[in-house]
Amino acid sequence: MRTHMQRYAKYVTPLAAIALVSCFMALMFYPMMNANMKELPVAILSLDEGAQTVRGDMNVGDMMVDKLTESAKSSDSDEPASIKWVKVSTQKELDEGFDNRDYYAAIVVPKDFTAKQVAVKQAAVKQNIESATALAQVMTQAQAQAAQQGLTGEAAQQFVQASLQKAAAEQAQSAGASGSSSAAVETGATVKLVIDNAKSPLITNLLKQSVPAMLEKTGATVKVTVFNKGDVTADSSLPTATMMGQNVLIMPVYMMSMLVSFLVVGAFARKNYDDRTQRWATFGEELAVAAVWAFCVALGADCIFAMLGSGWLPGGMLGFLWFASFALMTLFLGLMNVNKFFGLGCGVLGLGLGMASGLLPYELLPEFWQNWVYGWVPQHFIGDGVRDVLYRGDGWWNVGSEPLLIILCVGLVIFVCAGLLPLGRHRAEVSDE
């Protein structure tokens, strides 16, 4: 029977390997291929002081805010809106929201928004009145000239009509010349779109294209301001270049940490220990070696980043990547000391599930990843920390460091659990003797 199974194993094993690799790659790339923006938090602040018109007080900025916020609430579709408009009351509240990383962007309506729109409309009405008055004067003069020339009936009408057409053409030519010379002059409605690039460079590129096109339909001119740009250089202008620039730091750190952990356990761990002191000493050696190799992992990621033309990483980034790698190794080593291949399997599963979570923001991920994956995979926290250092200029301790510290502590707890496991058969035989 065993020989029979071995005979078919050489055919079944490659097929199983192909199926496993296919499932793993589908798991890894599914979130990217099915990314869809849902309820992206964008703040909207109206500083508009309004203006008085013949019809009463008017505040176009407040009307715009109400229209955007109400449109998202009153949507009949079961699908969530792509943008979640969050109304804020003051500039201080908006700044605090950006500091707390609550918003990807904000629309700010200036205090003179309505006043300038009213001024533009009043100028247009005034121009129309002046044009009509000028044409009326031309018609009166033409009628007088026709009478002086003795023209009557249809001849007089044709003379007046020709004079009006000539005057209208001159007005149009004059308006065109003045309009082209003042086309760059702000005609009133200028709205500011402020985007936090450190939150997600990918979202920054999406918002720079979509939001201005939406707001310009209202007749407003949109001024885009991007902050936290960082000093990251790339030879490509494509948005994917920025995304991959982060990935060459996130994924190599995860993969190298997992592989080094597997090799360290293979080199130091034993199937059986003489006593618990020997086991704890081995665990201590593994952690000490992991601390050294974690720094090597950070240097390796730095070299990859530099070889791709993005320059060498700052010291704060090296420190963060070292800390991230050590936290990962502590977790992997703890799991692998419970069972070597169980720990490796957990690492591979985390690699497949977490690849997209380090690159894509929460609002772009499929629902399963939002609910069950994004909150715990290490790549999410490494990605947050990498963006903080690259674009905000933070040091090694940043928004991603505290969750990684928790992961490190979880790894130490697993180490303790592994240390409390039975010593094994060899220890039992020694006791019997």
Domains held by the chain: number: 3
75 shares its domain with 140: no
337 shares its domain with 261: yes
Asked whether residue 87 carries a pLDDT value surpassing 60, the answer given is yes
pLDDT of residue 68: 79
Please choose, from the candidates 329, 339, 360, 309, the residue with its C-alpha nearest in 3D space to the C-alpha of residue 421. Answer: 339
200 shares its domain with 77: yes
200 shares its domain with 293: no
48 shares its domain with 144: no
The pTM assigned to this predicted structure is 0.80
154 shares its domain with 279: no
How far is it, in rounded angstroms, from Cα 312 to Cα 299? 10
pLDDT of residue 174: 66
352 shares its domain with 393: yes
Of 292-301, 388-397, 420-429, least confident by mean pLDDT is 420-429
Task: Judge whether 120 lies within some domain.
Answer: no
Asked whether residue 199 carries a pLDDT value surpassing 70, the answer given is yes
Q: Name the average pLDDT for the chain.
A: 82
User: Which secondary structure element, helix H or strand E, spans residue 191, and what is its range?
Assistant: strand 190-196
Half-sphere exposure of 359 (CA within 13 A, CB side): 25
Mean pLDDT of 400-417: 96
User: Which secondary structure element, helix H or strand E, spans residue 392, and what is its range?
Assistant: none
Task: Judge whether 32 lies within some domain.
Answer: no
pLDDT of residue 147: 67
248 shares its domain with 333: yes
Task: Judge whether 319 lies within some domain.
Answer: yes
398 shares its domain with 257: yes
Task: Judge whether 31 lies within some domain.
Answer: no
Task: Judge whether 67 lies within some domain.
Answer: yes
Token digits of residue 190: 């200028």
353 shares its domain with 323: yes
267 shares its domain with 293: yes
217 shares its domain with 275: no
